[in-house]
Amino acid sequence: MPVVKDGFVYISATLIAGIVFLFIFNPLGMFILLLSLFFIYFFRDPQRKINRDASTVLSPCDGTVLEVSEESGHKIVRVFLSVFNVHLQRSPVEGSVKSVVYTPGKFLPADNPSAHLLNENNIITIESPKGNFIVKQIAGILARRVVSWVKAGDRIEQGQKIGFIKFGSQVDLFMPVGAKIDVKLGDKVYGGKTIIGRI
């Protein structure tokens, strides 16, 4: 199974340490090797066929819909990513990266109602012919780092990989107020596959 480059250091370190400890203290070595298998699973990068359509807004991530709301001229869909979800983020639309803004903060549990306000986060703003779309990567109690793979000025395709959050986390998608939302609270969504809305 392919894994993202950000996982190589975790996988290789635990794999090497696990093999070494097998000869020193077998139970610890086995535990570390199991941890290595978990990192391979967590940092997985499954192959997906992206159905690109300029009239749709694709989910930027895998997870469970926490909230669907409207505020400050945006439709907002908040998605919780458990430690078992794929943690890649993808662009919901085709466009150009207007800005990438990192903000340090707390590490509340990602499903905490205040997490999107107080936690460490990274805001990726994408300009498209249908308006501006914002993907907000939010760290959680286990996620201690949000990673952006794009920068201002980059041209990106719908469904393209744009970042990663290490361990349990939340992703918020801000859309123009005219967007029609296709998901509801509790829905399971998949990055680059599930249609979040239409515009």
Residue 43: its pLDDT value, please?
92
Predicted local distance difference test score (pLDDT) of residue 142: 60
Other CB atoms within a 10 A radius of the CB of residue 117 amount to: 12
Q: Are residues 63 and 15 in the same domain?
A: no
**Residue 81's CATH number:** 2.70.70.10
Q: What is the DSSP letter of 179?
A: P
Domain identity same for 67 and 140: yes
Q: Are residues 170 and 72 in the same domain?
A: yes
Residue 51 lies in a domain: no
Looking at the DSSP bridge assignments, the partners of residue 171 are: 79, 137
Residues 71 and 161 in one domain: yes
What is the number of domains present in the chain? 2
How far is residue 50 from each of residues 58, 59, 93, 129, 140, measured CA to CA in Å? 9, 11, 11, 19, 28
Prediction pTM value:
0.89
169 is catalytic: yes
Range of the domain at 132: 56-198
Cα separation, 64 vs 29, whole angstroms: 35
- Rounded average pLDDT per 10-residue block, the chain, 199 residues: 89 96 94 95 92 96 96 94 92 98 81 77 95 92 78 97 86 96 97 96
In this structure, are 126 and 83 located in the same domain?
yes
Question: Choosing from 91, 128, 148, 169, which is the catalytic residue?
Answer: 169
Same domain, 110 and 25: no
Co-location of 100 and 178 in the same domain = yes
| Residue among 88, 108, 93 at smallest CA distance from 148 | 88
Q: Is 170 in contact with 110 (CB distance < 8 Å)?
A: yes
CA 147 from chain center: how many Å? 9
In this prediction, residue 168 carries a pLDDT of 65
Question: Do 114 and 183 lie in a common domain?
Answer: yes
pLDDT score at 116? 77
